[in-house]
A = this chain, B = another copy of it.
Amino acid sequence: MADLKTCPPLTRESVIDAHALIKPHIHLTPVLTNTTLSTLASLPRDDPSYPQSLTHLLPSPAPARYAQPTLRLYFKCENFQRIGAFKARGAFHAVARLLAHDPSFSPAAGVVTHSSGNHAQALALAARERRIPAHIVMPDVAPQAKVRATQGYGANVVFSGPTAAERMEVAGRVVEETGARMVPPYDHPDIVLGQGTLGLELTEQVKGLLQGKQDKGLDAIVTPCGGGGMLSGVALSQEGTGVKVFGAEPNHQGADDATRGYHTQERVRGVRTLTIADGLRTELGDVTYPLVCGRERGLVSGMYAVSEAEIRAALRLVLERMKVVVEPSAVVPLAAVLFNEEFRGMVEREAGPEGWDLGVVFSGGNISLEKVAELIAP
């Protein structure tokens, strides 16, 4: 990875610079609105017109009163990003920085990472497009489809045993043998700054949509939080603008490490969860923890966690009502908006009757249709 000494400072300015670097390589993904979902988000859950199909998600015991926020939602569709997920941003940025700003980087030796997820394909694509080699360490139990997709981008896939230690060991050997540079999936400033670029686009796009209606643009953004790369990048992208940034994560088997860390100010480690939001199983890292949970800069305004059933319900709503294919991790912010009473109560209090124009990030759409069928089964 780029030597930390060569990294730009973690500021909004650096996100703007990152955007200029990666713009030729990424899609300006569309921002969609949906009347049905904005209406549903603005409905208290005991309203007579609340869909019966969702009442099994009501919290127990029932609160004294269900929140009634007013929300206009704007969905940033990174499921339409190259490789089907926002990870293309960080990978293109990391590779661009190595090539342009790290004299010790050898383009002929290329880059390496260990991932069987979206980061693997993102780095493979970025490397191919910048004409450098990519070595991707994958567990030998990874699905053939993911292996082939990564090879399809021209990467050299190297297999390891299934544990993290085994993957690290193999990656270390690749570095030693080839001189390739490690590009981690989230815990690095170049990755954080790259992912944050979607926040810049989102606020600009919504300003365009609201032109002539109001001037202020978005009030807030809510993003998924796994390792925290995207959340901290988006938070940086809005620092000083007045746009609040919130994070959402699953709570299954302790996956809500960032929410707990945010409230207790103690970093949670050793998370092991099999939440269906498989992109969010990781915990915050050394770079991302202080950005997400640190109180000095106040980059993140709140963290909220949701259940597996709430994620499934949000997934079905997005597929059926918005007609877009998203992976379970991608709908975690929407699940918080629709079903987390704490989040909804906070919006009601802070936004008042005017309500909020709220950006909601769909992080990716890499899910097999067979998996969709399984997840939406009653």
Which A positions have Cβ atoms within 8 angstroms of B? 27, 30, 32-33, 35, 79-80, 82, 84, 316, 319-320, 322-326, 365, 368-369, 372-373, 376
State whether A80 and B376 are in contact (beta carbons under 8 Å apart), knowing that A30-B30, A30-B32, A316-B369 are contacts in the complex: no
| Neighbouring B residues of A365 by C-beta, 8 Å | 323
CB pair A369 B323 closer than 8 Å: no
CB pair A320 B373 closer than 8 Å: no
Q: How far is the CB of A327 from chain B (nearest CB, A)?
A: 9
| Neighbouring B residues of A323 by C-beta, 8 Å | 79-80, 84, 324-326, 365
| Neighbouring B residues of A27 by C-beta, 8 Å | 33
Q: How far is the CB of A216 from chain B (nearest CB, A)?
A: 22
Cα A323 to Cα B78 in complex, Å, equals 10
Question: Closest B-chain residue to A323, C-beta based?
Answer: B365
| Neighbouring B residues of A33 by C-beta, 8 Å | 27
Question: Closest B-chain residue to A364, C-beta based?
Answer: B323
Cα A324 to Cα B320 in complex, Å, equals 11
Q: How far is the CB of A186 from chain B (nearest CB, A)?
A: 22
CB pair B80 A32 closer than 8 Å: yes
Q: How far is the CB of A33 from chain B (nearest CB, A)?
A: 8
Cα A46 to Cα B290 in complex, Å, equals 54
Q: Number of copies of this chain in the oligomer?
A: 2
Q: How far is the CB of A129 from chain B (nearest CB, A)?
A: 11
Q: How far is the CB of A34 from chain B (nearest CB, A)?
A: 8
| Neighbouring B residues of A324 by C-beta, 8 Å | 323-325
Cα A82 to Cα B30 in complex, Å, equals 17
Q: List 16 A-B contacts (CB under 8 A).
A: A27-B33, A30-B30, A32-B80, A35-B82, A79-B323, A316-B369, A319-B325, A320-B325, A322-B325, A323-B324, A323-B365, A324-B324, A324-B325, A325-B325, A369-B376, A373-B373
Cα A78 to Cα B324 in complex, Å, equals 12
Q: How far is the CB of A362 from chain B (nearest CB, A)?
A: 9
Cα A103 to Cα B82 in complex, Å, equals 53
Question: Closest B-chain residue to A362, C-beta based?
Answer: B323
Question: Closest B-chain residue to A32, C-beta based?
Answer: B80
| Neighbouring B residues of A80 by C-beta, 8 Å | 32, 322-323
Question: Closest B-chain residue to A35, C-beta based?
Answer: B82
Cα A326 to Cα B324 in complex, Å, equals 9
CB pair B30 A320 closer than 8 Å: no
Q: How far is the CB of A193 from chain B (nearest CB, A)?
A: 25
State whether A319 and B32 are in contact (beta carbons under 8 Å apart), knowing that A324-B325, A325-B325 are contacts in the complex: no
Cα A81 to Cα B79 in complex, Å, equals 19
| Neighbouring B residues of A322 by C-beta, 8 Å | 80, 325
Cα A369 to Cα B367 in complex, Å, equals 14
Q: How far is the CB of A369 from chain B (nearest CB, A)?
A: 5
